[in-house]
Chain A
Amino acid sequence: MLQPLEELENFYQQEEDPWSYETTPDDAKRRSIIVSEIPERSYGKVLDIGCGHGFVTRELPGEDILGVDISNNAIQQAMKLSVHQSKAKRLRFLNASIFELDAVLSETYDLVVITGVLYSQYIGESKTLVRQIVDKLLNSNGVLVCSHINDWYSMRFPYLLLESYFFEYREYTQRLEVYVK
């Protein structure tokens, strides 16, 4: 079943960092794995879809990094937290759902990151559309990085799979995938 947007908004309203990413060692580990798996090269435009309060977004490489999230409260938090970042100038945040991105965004990206978002709780049964939208946003030769709790994730994108592996995360296993288009 889909999680209603109000619930998400309340969630972010009631707490900062509602999933305790900032204080959980497993999330520090998750983030540094994700970041270190991004193939080394220079990235211009970077997009983090479902960025939450920007926990991963902040550490991404790239000259112009955009985090989007369906929750406005999440985006407010993200903006607040990113002010102190050394990269602040390169970081931007936008309140939008993944399903409207092709309408909202007119640019395409060298790197797209999606972590902890492609669960049926958020996207229902719409893998096909997600694939289509991401494809519109990702440059040719662009890199797509996905990291999700394996039990809840069943997607695969139609790009060459550079890397796919697992790591332990909280009581779950994360599946990390790196694609090149």
Chain B
Amino acid sequence: MTILMYHKVDLVNPTMWWVTVDQFYRQMRELRGKQVVYLDDYEPRNPNQVVITFDGIYKNILQYAAPILQEFNYPFELFLSSDFIGGNNEFDAVEPLADFADLAELKKLTAMNGRLQWHTRSHRDLSNEIAAEIEIELQVPEEIRQLDFSGFKWFAYPYGNFNSDLLQQVKNKFIGAVSCHQGNDIDRHCLNRLTVTNDTKLGGSTIAAVITSYNYGAFLTEAIESVLRQTRLPDEILISDDASTDDTYEIATLYQEKYPDLIKVNRNEENLGIVNHFNKAVKLTNADYVAILGADNRFRSDYLDKTSEILDLEPEVAIAYTDFALFGNRAHLVFQDFPQEWRGEIKLDRFFIVNFPNFDEVHRQYLLETGNFIHGSSMFRRKAFMEVGGYVSKSEQPEDYGLFQRIVKAGWQAKRSPLPLLEYRQHSKYQANIQLTSYGALQLYKGQVRDYQAQIQGYQAQISQYGLAQEQLQKELAQSQTELTNAQIERQRTQAYVQQVCAEFDQLQTDSHHLRVNLSAVHAELHAVRASVADSHEQVRRKQTKIEELRTKIQRLRVELERTQTRLIAVESSKFWKLRKAWFKLKRLFGVRENDAFEAPTDSLGSAPSQEVSAPPQPPAARSYNPTLAYELWMQQHTPTAVDLQDMANLIKIFAKQPRVSVVMPVYNPTIQFLREAIESVLAQVYSNWELCIADDASLNPLVRETLEEYANQDERIRVVFRTENGHISRASNSALEVATGEFIALLDHDDVLAPEALYEMVLMLNKHPEADMIYSDEDKIDAENRRKFPFFKPDWCPDSFLSRMYTCHLGFYRRSLITEIGGFRVGFEGSQDYDLVLRLTEKTNQIFHIPKILYHWRIHEHSASSGAVAKPYAYEAGQRAIAEALERRGEPGQVTEIAQHRGHYIVRYDIKTHDLVSIIIPTRDLGRFLNQCLESIFENSTYPNYEVILVDNGSTEPYTEKVISDWLNREPNRFRCYSYGIPFNYSKLNNYGVSKASGKYLLFLNNDTEVIAPDWIEAMVEHSQRSSIGAVGARLLYSDNTIQHAGVILGIGGVGGHLHKCLDANATGHFDRLVDTLNYSAVTAACLMCRREVFEAAGGFNEDLAVAFNDVEFCLKILRAGFRNICLPHAKLYHHESKSRGYEDTPEKKLRFNGEIAYIRDRWSSILDHDPCYSPHLSLKHEEECRIRETEESQVQLELTIQLRQSKNTLKRVRDRLNTTQEQLEQVQGKVAAMETSKFWKIRQQWFQIKQVLRLSSSVKEREL
């Protein structure tokens, strides 16, 4: 049907005779359904045949066209002009220079399915040549003919020109010939050819790519990018949003703005579900083939090319399916679900390739009867889709399976492309549900901002142009107005004159001569007026043309603007929510922050661009930390979704224990709205075996009763006791307890909210630990607008910490039999009645468990107890009494004081039973000055009556140190002793040795660079050490600059343990005021550590395998294992004159040892190191000075992305607003100019009419005169 004519195929196309490689490839692809043949086989009338020909022959055909022709396996014809072989086209001055192929290259072409044909020797126009010349030109030299024995049977007319003589000669020599325009489509000796240029389209099929998203906005950019970068672009793209609640639609429309001709967007106002949605989406497209891509997946870039090839080549095939590659964090699991024989290669542990079977007869039957192996993104023919009625909803079968079955049943074939063309994401339910932010989306927004800004600039330029035009116009207008005024004055004068003339006409008839003179003067003047009016008219016209010009210019600019915009990237991107380890490494290495590409950030979180990119390695720059945002992110990741809740509900069914839980809620004058929310939160519990026991403490508001009754009627699990008189919280709570029948009690305040999974989690814990008597969870605050904040992440049960504050609090879950046993709540402890309750209850049991999940939201509003400690002073006093009584009951008497300025925080000072001997053990070596300061401060300040100091000298050599020691031996002959122990440094051995020399009941390990601050430090430590449950007692240590060096060790920081709140000011109160509390810690530093000898022995002393680091941590862990608790005292205060920058690891070999010690400890203690029971698993182990919410590396990235994304979105919004206002401005200016034009036009018309009138008048004068 067609013979194609090409000349040059190259990287670029400077003129129409060149076709670029990519366009050539496209054209070759468009021929895929056709039969490409040699001219010898060409049947002009066969509509399916095509011949590809080249004239020249240029070198670039070998380099750029031939490889592509080979890929498609097409034969092609080469019309050769032999004079140019090995030369170039210098002779053709208008064409850019190009080389012709030499003989060897021609030979290569023939080896690649090219066939040489004849195009004369010199490429002269033979239609004007004499026969002899023609004869020569048609002669193929023998050495050329040698190049291709099957060729040179066809001829091409130079320039396509021929006459009948030439035609005749050609007929004699060749079996056929081609022209380009002069010939026709059937005559074998003058067949026309189609001149192919870069834009020529050769037909072929069309493809629609449909991207469907339901809340997959996070992955959407990746999906769209994968379609936009296909090697064969689709002819239309539909992004279809099934009523997502995320930013799917926003992203889709941004892309549509970038590619208005390619992308369409559909948004369903209501979620239609897959079947209706897909049917609708397919109907919104028109192309021959359709492929649907779920927004969480990606096409490999040759997906459309390879699948459409199948449909192009095989008309009986309606479905082109492919293999796929699973990726994402669940990929390896899903992979295992596929039958063994389908499981293919695994690429770099990331892509798991599934090879589906070919569509043979066996598998045709398999598809019809057994199961599906054609994935839902397979490409199908629209025709077949319509024929079988599209997707049909069937509950027992996935919609795509049904569709493919029906298509195959209708007689169509399917065919497999055996390549993993679909990248099929397998993400967890979690990932799918939480809104991940994507780096891709960020790029999109940033790109959009850039576009808009460019647009604004454009508009502003226009505006200033208009401004200029306006100014110009105004100037000109002013000018013409002056002219007009002049003309007007003139006219008036003339008018007056004419009138005068008229009036005088009769009398002056006789004096006609005079009149005539007058008249001619009038005429002359009139002429001038007319001229001047015409002139100003002309000026206006000129101006209008100018405006017109300006307008077209603006129009042009606008078009250009649009064009640039489309070129400006939109943002390619594939999603990248996971910036990787490498990136972090790098950032750390260089201290780089990502530059904010657009305006200054508005958030305080914004990153300041840093220039010191090449700075040497330094510790990670402290990222500004936003607790609110961090918690938001945490919630996203830790709040169960509807699906998760459903799963829980299903799980409950298999719980062995499903006890009834009585939720006890005393009510007094609540805000009705909050009361409702509290009750609703119980009704919403996933765990359903509960009863809600409400005691109304004679609330004044009648609505309370009404509301409670309403609920009691609505659900029989809700029971309400109306107390007749107000008895305050303890009595009210007891009233509610009285009607409770459950095995467990959960306490709920009348304006707080339970998480829907709260009771489920409690019961789950019970199933794991049936012995549990008390369970508590973490909690946060919720404000009047239901915003959650201030998460309180708690440690596991720490009895001593509990004496410093009521920290278990909400949600508390207690065995009812125990509560009954202790008599419920006590009157007189109102406000701290729950504190008192737990104090008493925990004396009865130690089966106390902690769920580190936020299950309770404590309402803060104007009237609530949690909004300010000032609210109920009596409560704190009650708390103090509750503790004091507990101490009595426990036989550990002491003084309880409330800590000033920290209501609800207490300090207990136990009475010391006997002042037994304390042995202070100080290993030392040189550093006499420090040692002296240390000893001085001990002997001068300490008030404890009974102690000894044992110095273990590890080989001091400085004379000064020796002098210090001998001085003190003299000064304190009874209380001070020194033992030399000259071993290689081993801190454990030194201490153990010291113990062997000590005679005290209490051992106090102390570093030689400490200095006592609190005179009663020994008393404070003995107070706790004497208690049989207590193991190690630590102290509060300060650096010389009054910042915190040690306030307790948190396990896991830095791998083994680190000092929390290090370097904070000595007066700082720390996270949730933890620095003022006396808390249990798993470990404390041995720079100052006291324990009873008995404890030391139970733990087996310091581990001598650990010479330098962490022997103290390990010692404490052994104490824990022996069944004691450790504690750290904020009031036992000393300086620790350690250098802040000190490191054990300052030389390579020390570093090696240090790491060795870390490994040693981790080997033995990793489970406790990974979860410090005195800390929360939700708090970070990466930051010593600050308590942050623990972030996974991913969420760190996400946090940053979220911040940036928010900024981008804000900027986008601002810029969009600016764009709008600029557009408005532009319109206003345009309007003004238009108004000016029209008003001017009317003015001039008016003037013109007036002048016409004068003219009429004067002509009547003239008439009369005649």
Interfacial residues, chain A to chain B (CB-CB below 8 A): 1-2, 25-26, 28-29, 32-33, 36-37, 39, 41, 99-100, 102, 123-129, 131-133, 141, 143, 150-151, 154-168, 173, 175, 180
* Residue contacts A-B, CB under 8 angstroms, 30 given: A28-B590, A29-B613, A33-B586, A36-B586, A100-B63, A124-B20, A125-B22, A126-B22, A128-B21, A128-B25, A129-B21, A129-B64, A132-B68, A143-B348, A150-B443, A150-B572, A151-B568, A156-B229, A157-B301, A158-B302, A160-B300, A161-B298, A164-B574, A165-B573, A165-B574, A166-B576, A168-B595, A173-B597, A180-B347, A180-B351
Q: Secondary structure at chain A's binding surface: helix, strand, loop or mixed?
A: mixed
Q: How far is it, in angstroms, between the C-alpha of A132 and the C-alpha of B302 when the chains are bound?
A: 12
Q: Is the CB of B301 within 8 A of A36?
A: no
A33 and B590 in contact, given A160-B347, A168-B597 (Cβ under 8 angstroms): no
Quick one: which of A39, A99, A125, A155 contacts B12, CB cutoff 8 A?
Answer: A125
B20's nearest neighbour on chain A, judged by CB, is: A125
Whether A158 lies near B300 (C-beta < 8 A) is yes
CA of A123 to CA of B594, assembled, Å: 30
The reply to whether B576 and A26 form a contact with Cβ atoms under 8 Å apart is: no
Q: Are B348 and A41 in contact (CB under 8 A)?
A: yes
Within 64-89 of B, Cβ neighbours of A (below 8 Å) are at 64, 67-68, 71
0/1 per residue, B379-422, Cβ < 8 Å to A? 00000000000000000000000000000000000000000100
**For residue B67, which residues in chain A have a CB less than 8 angstroms away from its CB?**
102, 129, 132-133
Which residues of B (318-347) have their CB < 8 Å from a CB of A? Answer: 325, 327, 345, 347
In the complex, are the beta carbons of B576 and A126 less than 8 A apart? no
Task: Give the distance in Å from the alpha carbon of A149 to the alpha carbon of B1067 in the complex.
Answer: 52
Contact B12 A29 (CB under 8 A): no
Q: Are B231 and A166 in contact (CB under 8 A)?
A: no
A24 to chain B, nearest CB (A): 9
Q: Taking CB as reference atom, which chain B residue is nearest A133? A: B67
Is B586's CB under 8 angstroms from A29's CB?
Answer: yes
Contact of A126 among B11, B229, B439, B582 (CB under 8 A): B11
C-alpha spacing A124/B595, complex, angstroms = 31
Bound-complex Cα distance A23 to B1016 (A): 61
Given contacts A129-B68, A166-B576, contact A124 B597 (CB under 8 A): no
User: Shortest Cβ distance from A87 into chain B, in angstroms?
Assistant: 21
Q: State the CA gap A150–B446 with chains docked (Å).
A: 13
A-B contact count (CB 8 A): 135
* Pairwise interchain contact B585-A36, C-beta atoms closer than 8 A: yes
CB of B595, distance to nearest CB on chain A (Å): 5
Contact yes or no, B586 A32, CB < 8 A: yes
How far is A36 from B347 in the complex, measured between Cα atoms in Å?
19
Choose among A28, A100, A126, A141 the residue with the greatest number of B CB atoms under 10 Å from its CB: A126
Q: Which 9 residue pairs spanning A and B have beta carbons closest together?
A: A124-B11, A25-B613, A36-B582, A158-B302, A125-B20, A126-B21, A156-B229, A165-B576, A128-B25
Question: How far is the CB of B988 from the nearest CB of chain A, in Å?
Answer: 39
User: Chain B, 742-770, contact with A by CB distance < 8 Å: what is the 0/1 string?
Assistant: 00000000000000000000000000000
Set of chain B residues within 8 Å of A164, measured between Cβ atoms? 222, 573-574, 576
Q: How far is the CA of A150 from the CA of B11 in the complex (A)?
A: 21
Q: How far is the CB of B1198 from chain A (nearest CB, A)?
A: 14
Interface string of B976-992 (1 = CB under 8 A from A): 00000000000000000
**B159 at interface, CB cutoff 8 A:** no
B12 & A124 in contact (Cβ 8 Å cutoff): yes
Once bound together, how far apart are the Cα atoms of A41 and B348, in whole Å?
A: 9
CA–CA, A80 and B226, complex, Å: 41
Q: Does B256 contact A (CB under 8 A)?
A: no
Q: How far is the CA of A89 from the CA of B755 in the complex (A)?
A: 65
B583 contacts the other chain (CB 8 A): yes
Residues of A within 8 A of B274 (CB): none
Q: Which partner residue on chain A sits nearest B64 by CB separation?
A: A129
B10: Cβ under 8 A from any A Cβ: yes
On whether the beta carbons of A166 and B573 are closer than 8 Å, the reply is yes
1/0 per residue, CB under 8 A from A, across B570-601: the answer is: 00111010011011011001101011010000
Known: A160-B347, A173-B443. A167 touches B420 (CB 8 A): no
Closest A residue, CB atoms, query B28 = A128
CB proximity of A134 to chain B, nearest CB, Å: 12
Contacts A2-B11, A125-B21, A156-B229 known; A28 to B301 CB distance under 8 Å? Answer: no
Contact B420 A160 (CB under 8 A): yes
Which residues of the other chain, A, contact B226 by a CB distance below 8 angstroms?
156, 161
* Contact present for B579 and A165 (CB under 8 Å): yes
Alpha-carbon distance between A158 and B231 when the two chains are bound, in angstroms: 8
Residues from chain A with a CB closer than 8 A to the CB of B25 are: 128-129
Closest beta carbon of chain B to A98's beta carbon, Å: 11
Within residues 525 to 582 of chain B, which ones have a CB less than 8 A from any CB in chain A?
568-569, 572-574, 576, 579-580, 582
What is the chain B residue whose CB lies nearest that of A124? B11
In the complex formed, the residue of B with least CB distance to A159 is B300
Most buried by A among B23, B64, B305, B423: B64
- Bound CA span A125–B443, Å: 25
Could you say which of A28, A39, A125, A127 has the most chain B C-beta atoms within 10 Å of its C-beta? A125
- Max count, chain A CB within 10 A of own CB: residue among B11, B327, B614: B11
| Chain A residue at smallest Cβ distance from B230 | A156
A124 x B10 contact (CB < 8 A):
yes
A150 to B64, CA, bound (A): 26
Partner of B590, one of A29, A37, A129, A161: A29
Assess whether B423 is in contact with A160, with CB atoms less than 8 Å apart.
yes
Decide if A166 touches B443 in the complex (CB within 8 Å).
yes
Kindly state the separation between the CA atoms of A131 and B302 in the bound complex, as whole angstroms.
11
Check B12 against A150 for contact (C-beta < 8 Å): no
Cβ of B439 and Cβ of A124 under 8 Å apart? no
Asked whether any CB of chain A lies closer than 8 Å to the CB of B902, the reply is: no
The answer to whether B350 has its CB under 8 Å from any CB of chain A is yes
User: Which A residues are CB-close (under 8 A) to B11?
Assistant: 2, 123-126
- Contact call A37/B582, Cβ cutoff below 8 A: yes
Given contact pairs A29-B586, A125-B23, a sample of 13 additional A-B residue pairs in the complex whose CB atoms are under 8 Å apart = A2-B11, A25-B613, A25-B614, A32-B582, A33-B583, A127-B231, A141-B345, A151-B569, A156-B301, A161-B298, A163-B580, A164-B573, A165-B573
Contact of B229 with A175 in the complex, beta carbons under 8 Å = no
How far is the CB of B447 from the nearest CB of chain A, in Å?
9
Closest-by-CB residue of B relative to A38 is B582
Chain B, residue nearest A178 (CB): B348
Q: B698 CB to closest chain A CB, in angstroms? A: 64
Chain B residues with CB under 8 Å of A180's CB are 347-348, 350-351
Please tell me if the beta carbons of B439 and A166 are within 8 angstroms of each other in the complex: yes
Report the Cα distance A156→B302, complex, angstroms: 9
The distance in angstroms between the C-alpha atoms of A164 and B23, with both chains bound, is 27
Pick the contact of B229 from A32, A37, A150, A154 — CB < 8 Å?
A154
Q: Roughly how many angstroms separate A154 CA and B574 CA in the complex, as a whole number?
A: 13
Complex: A38 Cα to B301 Cα, angstroms: 21
Partner of B582, one of A33, A102, A166: A33
Contacting residues, chain B, for A25 (C-beta < 8 A) = 590, 613-614
CB distance from A32 to the nearest CB of B (A): 6
Inter-chain contacts of A151 with B (CB < 8 A): 568-569
Cα distance A180–B576 when bound, in Å?
A: 17
**CA gap between A146 and B305 in the complex, in Å:** 22
Given contacts A29-B592, A33-B586, A36-B586, contact A126 B613 (CB under 8 A): no
Contacting A99 at CB < 8 Å: which of B63, B230, B576, B613? Answer: B63
Q: Quick one: given A160-B420, A166-B439, are A131 and B231 in contact (CB under 8 Å)? A: yes
Chain A residues whose C-beta falls within 8 Å of the C-beta of B325 in the assembled complex: 160
- Cβ of A120 to closest chain B Cβ, rounded Å: 8
Alpha-carbon gap, A136 to B10, bound state (A): 20
Instruction: Please report the C-alpha to C-alpha distance between residue A38 and residue B1116 in the assembled complex, in whole angstroms.
Output: 44
Q: Complex: how many Å from CA A126 to CA B348?
A: 30
Residues of A within 8 A of B592 (CB): 29
Contact across chains for B347 and A141 when beta carbons are under 8 A apart: yes
Nearest residue (CB) in A for B587 is A29
Shortest beta-carbon distance from A173 to chain B in Å: 7
Q: How far is the CA of A126 from the CA of B10 in the complex (A)?
A: 8
Are the CB atoms of B594 and A168 closer together than 8 Å? yes
> What is the CB-to-nearest-CB distance from A105 to chain B, in angstroms, rounded to a whole number?
15
How far does the alpha carbon of A61 sit from the alpha carbon of B1263 in the complex, in Å? 108
